[in-house]
Amino acid sequence: MIALLEDHIITGVTTNPTILQKDGHRPRNIPDLHRRFTDAGAEEIFFQATGATRAEMQGNAAEIRGLGDRVIVKIPATAIGFRVAAECARAGAPVLLTAVYTIAQAVAAASIGARYIAPYFGRLDDSGLDALDVVGSMHRAIAGSGTNVLVASVRTPTVAANLALAGIGHITAHPSVIEAMLVDPASDAAAVDFEAAARV
């Protein structure tokens, strides 16, 4: 991820507690991760607020907001989460509501002034729904509201391309998917031919 930032292939980083845990990080590592991502050139850095109660989530969201201007606070799209997100947005903090699964949730997120919503494409697809139709409908429902759809769980370059064709301009994906978006065998073959011609 750091290399993709440093090479200006991507402009931001999204995280959540599950991803951090898989990578061997704990919540106390978040300030250090923020510094690393900032130093690598990230324009937006997403960290998720947690808490079993509204007060706990509010406190954690405040800590995340305090990291810097490039931070976007991720908040789960739950009854408590919407309330905390609304408070953050009213205070001027940029917010992403994550794990948005319905068009109604998307509309509610736009109404409270969230900067982003994050539907999980892969999980929608796994559930048997037409994920492209669902996220496309979210995009149309909140068009012009100031809230952007940032699609998560994008598992293939083809999905990324189809989302772009549907007018969705923000995705987050594993670095391996981003790398796969950059290459094609035909492009590699053409590059070999160019190099051969340059040496004649």
Nearest-angstrom CA–CA distance, 165 and 197: 35
Backbone φ and ψ for 140, nearest 5 degrees, come out as -70, -35
Residue 27, pLDDT score:
87
This prediction has a pTM of 0.94
Q: Residue 46, Cβ neighbours under 10 Å: how many? A: 25
Backbone φ and ψ for 117, nearest 5 degrees, come out as -125, 150
Is there a contact between 169 and 11 (Cβ–Cβ < 8 Å)? no
Residue 200, pLDDT score:
80
Instruction: List the chain domain ranges.
Output: 2-198
Write the pLDDT tens digit of every residue in 118-141: 999 999 999 999 999 999 999 999
Token couple for 194: 């160019």
Token couple for 177: 């998917």
Write the pLDDT tens digit of every residue in 68-108: 999 999 999 999 999 999 999 999 999 999 999 999 999 99
Task: Output the CA–CA distances (angstroms, integers) from residue 35 to 19, 30, 45, 166, 176, in the order listed.
Answer: 18, 9, 10, 34, 23
Is there a contact between 92 and 62 (Cβ–Cβ < 8 Å)? no
Residue 7, pLDDT score:
98
Fold adopted by 2-198:
TIM Barrel (3.20.20)
Residue 110, pLDDT score:
99
Is there a contact between 146 and 117 (Cβ–Cβ < 8 Å)? no
- Strand, helix or coil at 70? coil
Is there a contact between 77 and 104 (Cβ–Cβ < 8 Å)? no
